[in-house]
Structures are given as structure tokens and as C-alpha cells.
Amino acid sequence: MATTSQKAPPITERPDYLRERLKALPDTPGVYLMRDPQGRVIYAGKALSLRNRVPNYFQASSVLPEHIAAMVARVYEFE
């Protein structure tokens, strides 16, 4: 598994609505979809706690695998 020093864009560089949506995530199990600007699903995941899992993608200090960092850079919306 290849990793890189590339980091996900920090949430402070994301639109306000994404930051607000992250804050509002429930602390419950669930499935989440990440979409690009055209509305296409680019990632689907599941979590025991949406509040704990989804924000991890947007942490500036997280060193992510190259393919995940590239995906996060394209995220426009999530549900």
C-alpha cells in the first residue's frame, strides 16, 4: 500500500456549508456518500460513528494514501 506525504485539504479551505455539515453529523452508525461537483458519487463508506469518521478525511494533519487524498480534493458534497 503506497502512501504519500500529500495531505487532504484542510476543512478551513472548504466552503462554509461543508464545515457546518461536518459539525452536524450524528454520533450514530451510518453510510455516507461523497460527491464531486457534478453530483457523481466518488466514494461510499460506512461508519460506526459518522461524527468520528467523516471529518477524518478533512483533517489537514492527516497523511492519507495517495488515492484517498486525491479523492478528498474532489469532494464537493457529502450525505
pLDDT at 32: 96
Number of domains in the chain: 1
Q: What is the CA 20 to chain-centroid distance, rounded?
A: 13
The answer, yes or no, to whether residue 21 has pLDDT greater than 60, is yes
pLDDT tens digits, one per residue of 46-78: 999 999 999 888 765 457 788 888 888 888 888
C-beta separation of 40 from 65 below 8 A: no
The answer, yes or no, to whether residue 3 has pLDDT greater than 50, is no
The answer, yes or no, to whether residue 30 has pLDDT greater than 50, is yes
C-beta separation of 21 from 32 below 8 A: no
pLDDT at 72: 83
Range of the domain at 50: 3-78
Fill in the DSSP letter of residue 17: H
Q: Considering the chain, what is the average pLDDT of its residues?
A: 80
pLDDT at 1: 41
C-beta separation of 49 from 68 below 8 A: no
Identify the CATH number of the domain in which residue 52 sits: 3.40.1440.10
C-beta separation of 75 from 36 below 8 A: yes
